[in-house]
Amino acid sequence: MSRTLCYEWFNRFKEGSMSVGEDPRLGRPSLSANGDHVDRVHAVIRGNRLLTAREGADEVGISTRSCHQMFTEKLLMCRVDEKFAPRLLSDAQRENRVDISQELLANANGNENFL
């Protein structure tokens, strides 16, 4: 943590603010981050995982920054080798991964010509 940030927090606490998070900002809330746009962006990225944030934004009609924010924060996706992939596995995906691993292990143990 930087010295400047420590001084800033010290001054905040000295003035009576007990919150360590960011204060709400003034201004109009984002209109592109509503559920309808998130659903449309999710449908677009499911259709073609090779799309960039710019291409997805053009297809949905929102800003590139909003589209990238939806990918990373709302849909919990990250960039992996030129495509967006889910960051977290669902329970069904984890179970499927375990089942496949156990099947491969059983094949490797039972069949000497497996590999």
Residue 12: count of CB within 10 angstroms of its CB: 14
| DSSP H helical ranges for 3-114 | 3-14, 35-47, 53-60, 64-69, 91-110
CA distance 56 to 40: 9
pLDDT at 99: 92
Asked if 44 contacts 53 with a C-beta cutoff of 8 angstroms, the reply is no
Crossing angle between the packed helical segments 53-60 and 35-47, to the nearest 10 degrees: 120
Residue 102: per-residue pLDDT? 92
* CB-based burial label for 44 (10 Å; 0-12, 13-18, 19+): middle
Decide yes or no: CATH 1.20.58 for domain 31-110. Answer: no
- Separation between Cα atoms, residue 12 and residue 16, nearest integer Å: 7
pLDDT string in tens for the chain (115-residue length):
788 888 888 888 888 877 766 666 677 666 666 778 888 888 888 888 777 788 888 888 888 888 888 888 877 776 655 555 566 677 788 888 889 999 988 888 888 776 6
